[in-house]
Amino acid sequence: MTEQNMIDNQQARYARQRILGVIGETGQQRLLDARIAILGVGALGTHVADTLTRAGVGFIRLVDRDLPELSNLQRQILFDLSDVERGVPKAAAAAERLSAVNPNIEFEPLVTDINPTNIERMISDVDLVIDGSDNFELRYLLNDAAIKHSVPWVYGGVISTHGMSMTIRPGISPCLRCVFPESPAPGDAPTCDTAGVLGAAVAMVASIQSTEAIKYLTGDHDSLSQHLTMIDLWEMSFRQVSLGERDPSCPACGNHDFAFLDRQAPRQTTDLCGSDSIQIMIDPAPSLSLESLANRLRDAGEVSYNAYLLRVQLNGYQMTVFPDGRAIIKGTTDPGEARSLYARYVGM
Amino acid sequence: MERMQVELNGKMTQLDGVATVGDLIRSKDLKPRMVAVELNGEIVPREKFDEQVLSDGDRLEIVHFVGGG
């Protein structure tokens, strides 16, 4: 394709945004020059990634540790049955799909757990971060890292038929810990796995997050929301709570006490909510050869592997091992049992 | 303490034996550090929960952090 054609294509591709008063030529160019990270490529993450890829955000880092499952397809719009069958990690499958939608965008898929040892690298070189996570702990960690590096982020949460969003600009607007100083303990709050979630409610919250991102990246900071916005699609309600001022005594944005970030060692085992699975992490991360591991495990059970992961079926358990030593053991919710299987078949 | 009617999260609600925002949060078994409260359009600072008196007809939003996604 000649350069002229390429320019024409870009003109056509973004034509409806270029003529949109709030974006225009300048705003479109700013989107093309922008860099974002999406932490968690699940329900919210796939919707926001799709919208911002089509809108022309130039660089998108997609971070997720999981593989698509059949129960994800109801709301995680970038995956299909073949991704579930092929066992391609979510971050890689999303980047593949989105590259076909808009090849002008640079994608960086990272298949990894997000924890205090690596989050700063993921967010410090981007203009904005989208929260696509599904748990409280990661959001507090993201809040710490974003305040530390002065990177704005857009919180989104959704459950059942309702959800909420809030835009956090470090040093300017209240942060997550100003509004909710303490995270609910695991088990204190319902999750998508215990309460269910409506795909349309996800799309609504993701639309709010995407729009806030576009406002920020195009430079229209005065139009950013200064509220915590709550929606319930079943009630068809849209409510906003004013956020007021930053809390001067906020541990994170007031005192720069980054308790979640300073918790350096990632947990060795994590219960992967509702999926009857335990994740095991090895610190420091080794560099495993999946091919040699496959050879070692041939006699233990049915083994398959690709560039991203190895999977072995073991007597009612399924173990998925990644090159960084991380493993997801399906078929148990007992961390001790998961660790013993890992020690036996992979080695600790 | 008296009976009063307030609009709580968009619904008319009867409150009994509740005088302040702090009372209301405790009566609902909520933890003050896990909720944000807006009273008649203004956020209530957390340290004022126990001082902030409620009146008949108040509009209140008690908001919890939503974790799914």
ipTM of this model?
0.88
List chain B residues with CB under 8 Å of A182.
31, 33-34
* CA distances to A293, A318, A340 from A345, in Å: 9, 12, 9
DSSP A221: G
Inter-CA distances, A201 with A295, A319, B18, Å: 45, 33, 34
Count other C-beta atoms under 10 Å from residue A348's C-beta: 11
Give the residue-averaged pLDDT of A258-274: 77
**Per-residue pLDDT at A46:** 98
pLDDT at A300 over 90: no
Q: What is the pLDDT of residue A250?
A: 94
Closest alpha carbon to A136 in A190, A89, A94: A190
The pTM score is 0.88
Amino acid at A266: P
Strand partners, A317: A314
The whole-number average pLDDT for the span A185-193 is 69
Q: What is the mean pLDDT of residues A156-170?
A: 97
Amino acid at B44: V
Per-residue pLDDT at A39 exceeds 70: yes
* pLDDT band, residue A269 (cuts 50/70/90): confident
pLDDT at A218: 98
| Residue B3: per-residue pLDDT | 84
SS3 content of chain A, % helix, strand, coil (to 5): 35, 20, 40
- Could you tell me the pLDDT band of residue A21, with boundaries at 50, 70 and 90? very high
* Better-scored residue on pLDDT, A186 or A217: A217
User: What gap in Å lies between CA B14 and CA A243, rounded to an integer?
Assistant: 26
- Report helix, strand or coil for A136: helix
Helix, strand or coil, per DSSP, at residue A70? helix
Res A336: pLDDT:
84
User: pLDDT grade, residue A235 (50/70/90)?
Assistant: very high
Decide: residue A340, CB within 10 A, 0-12 exposed, 13-18 middle, 19+ buried: middle
Nearest to A241 among B31, B63, B68 (CB): B63
Minimal CA separation from A244 to chain B, in Å = 6
Find the mean pLDDT for residues A269-286. 79
Query: What ranges in A253-320 are assigned the alpha helix state H?
Result: 290-297
> How far is the C-alpha of A227 from the C-alpha of A208, rounded, in Å?
12
pLDDT for the residue A7: 58
Contact predicate B66/A157, CB 8 Å: yes
Q: Annotate chain B with three-state secondary structure.
A: CCCEEEEECCEEEEECCCCEHHHHHHHCCCCHHHEEEEECCEECCHHHCCCCECCCCCEEEEEECCCCC
Which among B26, B24, B28 has a CA at the least distance from the CA of B53? Answer: B24
Name the residue in chain A with its Cα closest to that of B63: A241
Q: Which of A186-195, A292-301, A312-321 has the lowest mean pLDDT?
A: A186-195
Q: Residue A186 — very low, low, confident or very high, per pLDDT cuts 50/70/90? A: low
What is the per-residue pLDDT for A3? Answer: 54
**Per-position DSSP letters for A303-328, written without gaps between them:** EEE-SS-EEEEETTEEEEE-TTS-EE
pLDDT tens by residue, A201-228? 999 999 999 999 999 999 999 999 999 9
Question: What gap in Å lies between CA A130 and CA A116, rounded to an integer?
Answer: 17
A166 contacts on B by Cβ (under 8 Å): none
The partner residue sitting opposite B66, judged by closest CB among A132, A158, A235, is A158
User: Residue A271 has what pLDDT?
Assistant: 75
pLDDT of residue A347: 82
Name the interface residues of B facing A (CB cutoff 8 Å).
9-10, 31, 33-36, 38, 41-43, 45-46, 61, 63-69
Q: Which regions of chain A does DSSP assign to beta strands (E)?
A: 35-39, 59-64, 106-111, 128-131, 153-159, 162-168, 227-232, 237-242, 269-272, 277-280, 302-305, 310-314, 317-321, 327-330
* CB-CB neighbors (< 8 A) of B9 in chain A: 239
CA distance A304 to chain B (A): 30
Q: CA-based Rg of chain B, rounded to a whole angstrom? A: 12
Mean pLDDT of chain A: 91
Which residues in chain A have their CB less than 8 angstroms from residue B49's CB?
Answer: none
pLDDT in tens, A66-121: 999 999 999 999 999 999 999 899 999 999 999 999 999 999 999 998 999 899 99
User: Measuring CA to CA, which residue among A66, A137, A25 is closest to residue A320?
Assistant: A66
pLDDT of residue A118: 93
Mean pLDDT of all residues in A151-168: 97
Per-residue confidence (pLDDT) for residue B1, from 0 to 100? 54
User: Which of B25, B44, B60, B65 has the highest number of chain A CBs within 10 A, making it the mutation to test binding with A?
Assistant: B65
Residue A25: is its pLDDT beyond 70?
yes
Please say whether the dihedral angle defined by the alpha carbons of residues A321, A323, A325 and A326, taken in this order, is positive or negative: negative
pLDDT at A335: 86
**Candidates 3.10.20.30, 2.60.120.860, 3.40.50.620, 3.30.43.10; correct CATH number of B4-64?**
3.10.20.30
Between A274 and A167, residue with greater pLDDT: A167
Number of Cβ within 10 Å of residue A16's Cβ equals: 9
Which residues of A are known catalytic residues? 192
- Measure Cα distances from A126 to A34, A115, A118, A143, A282 in Å: 8, 18, 15, 15, 27
- A315 band by pLDDT with thresholds 50, 70 and 90: confident
Q: What are the boundaries of each domain within chain B? A: 4-64
Give the integer Cα–Cα distance in Å for A192 and A32: 34
At residue A127 the predicted structure's pLDDT band, cuts being 50, 70 and 90, is very high
Sign of CA dihedral A239, A139, A326, A328: negative
Q: Give contacts of A181 with chain B, Cβ < 8 Å.
A: 33, 46
**Among candidate residues A283, A284, A280, the one with its CA nearest the CA of residue A322:** A280
Confidence of residue A248 (pLDDT cuts 50, 70, 90): very high
Encode pLDDT of B2-55 as tens digits: 689 999 998 999 999 999 999 999 999 888 988 999 999 989 988 999 999 999
Subunit contact B10:A239, Cβ cutoff 8 A = yes
pLDDT the model gives residue A273: 62
Q: Rounding to the nearest 10 degrees, give the CA dihedral for residues A189, A193, A196, A197.
A: 90
Chain A / chain B CB contacts < 8 angstroms:
87
When scoring B43, B48, B49 by the number of chain A Cβ atoms within 10 A, the one with the most, hence best to mutate, is B43
* % of chain A beyond a pLDDT of 90: 71
B interface test, pick of A242, A245, A273 with most B CB neighbours within 10 Å: A242
